[in-house]
Amino acid sequence: MSQVATFIMFQGDARQAIDLYSELFDSFKVQQLLHYDETPDGQRRIKHASIDFDRQNLVFIDSPVSHDFSFTPAVSLHVNLATEAELERVFARLAEGGEVLMPLDDYGFSARFGWLNDRFGLSWQLNVPIAG
């Protein structure tokens, strides 16, 4: 049986990302977590983390090889939130040390929307859908 997952490759900060996302989203659940052996500097990088994010399959890893590329906003995690208060709280935390691409506003296609790259470089589109 085939299964599709969004594969998200970090370069050393997958654990910090998992901790932040787990804190912000109740539906962000680590299902399995494997580490590489401890590095000489005491780091335990993530070899493979299986995550259920509101019934979406994500795989997080720390690349064992340094790359000249990272994330791009062309692929982002789009999350519908229940209230504007929740949207503002999550957006503010994810924006810390990141880059706001579209500030929170009413762009006509939702009740309120914002787009940003968090401090790890992962792109998020956060939305409160129009009721109705």
Q: Is residue 1 part of a domain?
A: no
Better-predicted residue by pLDDT, 37 or 74: 74
What is the secondary structure of 40-94 as a DSSP string? TTS---EEEEEEEETTEEEEEEE-SS--S----TTS-EEEE-S-HHHHHHHHHHH
Mean pLDDT of 10-16: 94
Residue 100 belongs to a domain: yes
User: What confidence score (pLDDT) does residue 120 get?
Assistant: 97
pLDDT for 13: 94
Q: What's the structural domain count of the chain?
A: 2
What pLDDT score does 127 carry?
Answer: 97
* Alpha-carbon torsion, ordered 70, 72, 77, 83, to 10 deg: 110
Domain boundary (62, 86, 103) is at 62
- Mean pLDDT score across all residues of the chain: 93
Q: Residue 8: which pLDDT band, with cuts at 50, 70 and 90?
A: very high
**What is the domain extent for residue 90?**
77-128
Whole-model pTM over 0.75: yes
58 and 101 inside one domain:
no
User: Is residue 68 in a domain?
Assistant: no
88 in a structural domain: yes
